[in-house]
Amino acid sequence: MSRTYADAAQLESVYTTMFDAVADDDSMDDLVEAQMVINFRLDHPDADIWVDGRSRPVVTRFEPISDVDATLTATLSADSMHQLLLGTLPLGKALLFRKLKVSGSKSKAMALEPLLHACQAVYPAIASDALG
């Protein structure tokens, strides 16, 4: 089975463009209000993505934020994340079939949904341009 991304550099380029597009979107209000820091741990290729919602605009890094623990950690393959962002893998199904594992504050997990929807709105075009 072929992988969506050729390597981590390609994934980082696509995700940087995507997160930059939604960083100051109104859909980030819940994330900022909850002061959330989300860590997406992807594999194949490996990527450690940190979304820092402690201020506006929301900042994304590809390395841990010093002295800050993630409020929520989502662990999944890069291919599953690609499918989630395209909308071809529903969030509930990803959780049910353990393609997505979430740890951290379950009460704050609902703030993740607007981030997912904002990313889903811009990702298909970005991925199409970058991945062909």
Residue 62 CB neighbours (<10 A): 13
pTM: 0.92
Average pLDDT across the chain, whole number: 91
2 located within any domain:
no
Number of folded domains that form the chain: 1
Structural domain that includes position 20? 8-127
Each residue's pLDDT tens digit, 91-113: 889 988 999 999 987 777 776 78
The answer to whether the CB of 39 falls within 8 A of the CB of 61 is no
Residue 45 lies in a domain: yes
Q: How many helices (H) and strands (E) does the chain have?
A: 5, 5
Span 15-26, pLDDT tens digits: 999 999 999 888
Round to whole Å and give the CA distance between 112 and 129.
26
Beta bridge partners of 51: 38, 60
Q: Is 118 helix (H, G, I), strand (E, B) or coil?
A: helix
**CATH assignment at residue 21:** 3.30.1050.10
